[in-house]
Amino acid sequence: MVAEIVSGLEYSKKVLTEVGEAIAKTREHHPHFESVLAIVQVGNRSDSNVYINAKLKKAKEIGANGKLIKLPDTITQGDLKREIMALNHDNNVDGIIVQLPLDCKHDIDADYIIDLIDPLKDVDGLTRINAGRLARGELQRTIFPCTPYGCLYLVQQATGNPNFVSGKEVVVLGRSKIVGSPAAALFLWHHGTVTICHSKTPNIKEKCLRADILIVAIGRKHYVKADWIKPGAFVIDCGINVGDDPTSRKIYGDVDTEAAKEVAGYLTPVPGGVGPMTVAMLIRNTYEQAKRRRLPGKESNSTWNVEYLKPTLLNPVPSDIAISRSQLPKDIEKVAGEVGIHPDELDLYGRKKAKVSLDILDRLTEVKNGKYVVVAGITPTPLGEGKSTTTIGLVQALGAHLHKNVFACVRQPSQGPTFGIKGGAAGGGYSQVIPMEEFNLHLTGDIHAITAANNLLAAAIDARMFHESTQATEALFNRLAPKNKQGVRPLSEIQLRRLDRLGIPRVNDAEHLSEEQRVSFARLNIDPATITWNRVMDTNDRFLRKIEIGLGPNEKGHTRTTQFDITVASELMAILALTTSLADMQKRIARIVIGSDKTGNPVTADDIGVTDAMTVLMRDTVRPNLMQTLEGTPVFVHAGPFANIAHGQSSILADKVALKLVGQDGFVITEAGFGADIGMEKFFNIKCRYSGLQPSAVVLVATVRALKMHGGGPSVVAGAPLKHEYLDENIPLVEGGCDSNLRKQIENANKFGIPVVVCVNKFATDTDKELELVCSKAKSYGAFDAVVSEHWSQGGAGAVALANSLVKATEGPAKEFKFLYDLELSLEEKIATIAREIYGADGIELSDEAKEKIERYTRQGFSKLPICMAKTHLSLSSDPTKKGAPTGFTLPIRDVRASVGAGFIYPLVGEMTTMPGLNTRPCFYDITIDPVTEIIDGLF
């Protein structure tokens, strides 16, 4: 018998050719796809240089990329750790290996360094996580170590049988962490009967003679002789031993090759056997990880493997906090892993919430977006009609019951309503975000960061006016641009940007500015009467609606009247919701107009000099906050702008990240604040303009209660018992509401070219006849479908019909989405278009103040911004008492203001309160904490 020599060179070429073809094919659909291997080398060992060059050369030959991070032999363990961590966080790197042995003058724990590698980038398969998974047989989650993987491949290919190992006696000589132990585990889980032998094993020869497959990795030249080998066995020689002649440097294996040929059935040579396969499998592993990281859902099954949570449904339905507390949430790391968020893309805030890195957008740039759905509502009663509850219930139905990839994107609640009249909530009943306490109390601190940044600008405005009024121009200039020790007046970047806006050429030394230029540079000359930037806090405090500042003796009589707003009314909150990156947020903050100077020109945050400091305070806020629903589906909680003076939406960034994570066949469900005439209109005309995202459908929430009110029913007052009309069947009232408000809101949605699914949120007092009437009417007025939903009392199971209807509405080619107005129209024309088309008004009436503001903003160059109407949410008109779908009215515009940083103009229709007040008995009476268990009660 003469053994078949199994050429690793031949089979490695086959592997590399397949990988090269796969990369080329992937690039046909994803031109920017890369497969990048990073090799970390410490020192300059010549043998390491040979191995590294071979890896880099082979990668380049097939269209993959390799990068060498060569570090000096003087590096410390701490510095090497930082290099590894940087590669972990580099989205352009798919695989990381550390070349061993480390050639270093300092003691470095190589095992510790290897374990620092992100398991998803551990293409050598040597971290404890991958080794543990392999040992446990979790082959679908394991990156196989390259040399054992190459051994297995050679056996399968040479025999032509992928199941050749199954049932065979496998003996492994050597128990190293790199070859022996992982090879034993790999062959074991391919159903071989494995024996590991080592230096302490008795009767090694006899054990080897039983082997159908003999893997030798013992590190001793020609250790295994021919009489150790079972006739016809498959012998894999992993040894690399240098010969005794120092001039030849000939390489020998652990097997006496010439003798073994006469006995074995298959034999791998040294060199040219396992060595080339190790390189090939390393490059193959890197490609597989690049595909998994960069193209999730494209090359494999795109459905998430989510552990859904099953609520225990009770009747009557308990309080929201009781329901939340009855469900044990998953750790947020598990939620993240289930939806494809990598560990290095997650910053934990405890065990149930985390911030998510925007690097996901770069990693998944080639992944197509999922379906994008907005939940809006008819004009609500003061009690609300359940848009948030519908959002969460729908997501639970799509995920836990239809097994779709789905994300909810909702706003972060303010502390104001939490401790005021509304109480905390994110949905309700069996359709809510959990844990409720985490959701409602601080979350990850975004609102506090906005408060700090907002008030920094407010303080800077008053300080600048004070210093300008109390100093001569020369003294003011000297303090703004002081000389350094070299006698030079260097300007910061933000000061150089002010020169740009003034049309003054940049200088390296402000000493070179002329006297006139110094005056222009140093004096902002803010007109106090035009200041629109207020201080904020996240508490309902009516006594801060109007205040006088500067009353201290050191302010020298520089007083002025101003006010506090609640933090979620800050323009910074609107900026956060509309920004598309940290860099974009910085630019938006720079453009904030805080007022005008005494010649009528706008004064910006950049003029004040505080842009970059504010961005620093808000740097973490741009990352969405990850939580989960009661049934274990993922939720992004991010941003929470007012829905009257701002657009009332969660963030563009949360939507964008979610759309990539769910993949092409998944769904992202987000909510628009207030009724569709406000929230949905702003979602389309403002949010979708800045995001560039294509909406797929509208879910329009209606209730029998609200329709009865619009059909002529008595007033609904928060805190007062409902009148009998709302508790008993009343078909005429329901019909009147359908023919007015429901009809108009469906028509409004259809103006944008997007299909509308009406969700009739069922209450216990609704009758079948009333519900059937609403569904029939909705479809007759142009809704794609209308479905009764019981998600509040039944969770996701109660919204399955709604979910199925939404899936049908979004099937097929995307509908042609269109904006309501062109940005090139004048501000007045855009305002009038919204009033006529969405509210049903005959036209608008501008006050003198509104006319003056429109003229000013047009002159200042802001006329191309979209419109964000600030009006009551309780009526389509400006009068909250007018229900249904009023006609024959003129919309009064009493004032117009600009949020230039956020990117919209907001006309004021009536009085808008930007600082809510506490009622006689606020919610905080009921909120308490057990000091022993730290359990919070009374949130809702």
Residue 512 CB partners (closer than 8 Å, separation 6+):
none
Select from 762, 764, 791 the least CA-distant residue to 775.
762
Q: How far is CA 639 from CA 410, 578, 652, 842, in A?
A: 8, 9, 9, 35
Q: Class of 447-618 per CATH?
A: alpha beta
pLDDT at 366: 83
pLDDT at 832: 98
Per-residue pLDDT tens over the stretch 885-918:
999 999 999 999 999 999 999 999 977 788 888 7
Token pair of 203 as six digits = 């009767």
Token pair of 538 as six digits = 């996240």
Identify the band that residue 705 occupies on the pLDDT scale cut at 50, 70 and 90.
Answer: very high
Indicate whether 422 pLDDT > 60. no
- Are 813 and 759 contacting, i.e. CB atoms less than 8 angstroms apart? no
Torsional sign, CA 516, 518, 520, 523: negative
Identify the band that residue 300 occupies on the pLDDT scale cut at 50, 70 and 90.
Answer: very low
Average pLDDT over residues 151-170: 97
> Cis before residue 101, ω within 30 degrees of 0?
yes
- Are 782 and 747 contacting, i.e. CB atoms less than 8 angstroms apart? yes
Which CATH number among 3.40.50.980, 3.10.410.10, 3.40.50.2300, 3.40.50.300 corresponds to the domain 827-908?
3.10.410.10
Identify the band that residue 246 occupies on the pLDDT scale cut at 50, 70 and 90.
Answer: low
pLDDT at 694: 94
- Are 384 and 705 contacting, i.e. CB atoms less than 8 angstroms apart? no
Tokens 């074995």 -> residue: 264
Select from 870, 908, 903 the least CA-distant residue to 572.
903
Indicate whether 68 pLDDT > 70. yes
Residue 256 CB partners (closer than 8 Å, separation 6+):
222, 224, 225, 226
Tokens 């009724």 -> residue: 675
Beta strand 95-98 with 65-71 is unpaired
Q: What's the chain's length in residues?
A: 940
DSSP-derived secondary structure for 156-206: HHHHT-TTTTTT-EEEEE---TTTHHHHHHHHHTTT-EEEEE-TT-TTHHH
Burial grade of 347 (CB within 10 A; 0-12, 13-18, 19 or more): middle
- Are 450 and 813 contacting, i.e. CB atoms less than 8 angstroms apart? no
CA atoms within 13 A on the CB side of 47: 9
Among 103-107, 178-182, 362-366, 501-505, the least confident range: 362-366
Per-residue pLDDT tens over the stretch 840-881:
999 999 999 999 999 999 999 999 999 999 999 999 999 999
H-only helix segments in 172-314: 180-188, 204-209, 257-260, 274-294
121 is catalytic: no
Token pair of 787 as six digits = 């479905």
Token pair of 573 as six digits = 């909150």
Identify the band that residue 249 occupies on the pLDDT scale cut at 50, 70 and 90.
Answer: confident
What are the residue ranges spanned by the domains of the chain?
Answer: 4-290, 320-444+620-811, 447-618, 827-908
pLDDT at 298: 45
Indicate whether 425 pLDDT > 70. no
Quote the CA–CA distance of 98 and 380 in Å, as a whole number: 61
Q: Class of 4-290 per CATH?
A: alpha beta
- Are 907 and 537 contacting, i.e. CB atoms less than 8 angstroms apart? no
Backbone angles phi, psi at 212, to 5 degrees: -80, -30
Indicate whether 159 pLDDT > 70. yes
Select from 441, 444, 426 the least CA-distant residue to 346.
444
Indicate whether 644 pLDDT > 80. no
Identify the band that residue 424 occupies on the pLDDT scale cut at 50, 70 and 90.
Answer: low
Catalytic residue among 55, 207, 387, 656: 55
Indicate whether 372 pLDDT > 90. yes
Identify the band that residue 299 occupies on the pLDDT scale cut at 50, 70 and 90.
Answer: very low
Select from 199, 188, 187, 193 the least CA-distant residue to 236.
187
> Cis before residue 271, ω within 30 degrees of 0?
yes
Comparison of pLDDT for 911 and 131, the residue scoring more? 131
pLDDT at 693: 97
Run of H or E including 149 = helix 146-159
pLDDT at 929: 73
* Superfamily per CATH, domain 320-444+620-811: P-loop containing nucleotide triphosphate hydrolases (3.40.50.300)
Per-residue pLDDT tens over the stretch 382-414:
988 999 999 999 999 999 999 999 999 999 988
- Are 901 and 591 contacting, i.e. CB atoms less than 8 angstroms apart? yes
H-only helix segments in 582-727: 582-591, 605-608, 611-617, 652-662, 681-682, 688-691, 704-710, 724-727
- pTM, full prediction: 0.86
- Same fold? 4-290, 320-444+620-811: yes
DSSP-derived secondary structure for 761-813: E--TT--HHHHHHHHHHHHHTT-SEEEEE-HHHHGGGGGHHHHHHHHHHT-SS
pLDDT at 934: 74
Backbone angles phi, psi at 373, to 5 degrees: -120, 135
Tokens 């025999």 -> residue: 159
Comparison of pLDDT for 194 and 31, the residue scoring more? 194
DSSP three-state, residue 858: helix
